[in-house]
Amino acid sequence: MKSSRKGPVPLTRRRFVTLMAAGSAALVTPGGAAAAAAAVARPRRAGAAGETLAPSDRKELLRQQASTRTTLDVIRKHAMPPGTEMAAVFSAMRPRRGKA
């Protein structure tokens, strides 16, 4: 049975940085490579960040979430008159060639 791949999968920048971080952690941690690999491979649960916080930190997180929600509501409800120009227009810049 033939493999559908023609060669090795190219290493992405994100995967490279992850591997470098795991390797560096393996060198400096007392648990060695096994502990670093387990930390990298451990999947995160959705909503787990708020469950492990101290009560005071959880209260502050909820306060900041409410503040952000209120700010977004004000921005979304603001009506702009028809024909108003946009504040800024972002367009792609041509890459520089040669000397920087």
Q: Which residue has the tokens 């930190």?
A: 57
* pLDDT value, residue 45: 61
* pLDDT value, residue 96: 82
The predicted model scores a pTM of 0.36
In a structure prediction context, what are the per-residue pLDDT tens digits for the chain, which is 100 residues long? 455 556 677 888 888 888 888 888 777 777 666 665 666 666 666 555 556 889 999 999 999 999 999 999 998 998 888 888 877 888 888 888 876 5
* pLDDT value, residue 18: 87
Greatest CA separation for the chain: 65
Element (H, E) at 15: helix 13-28
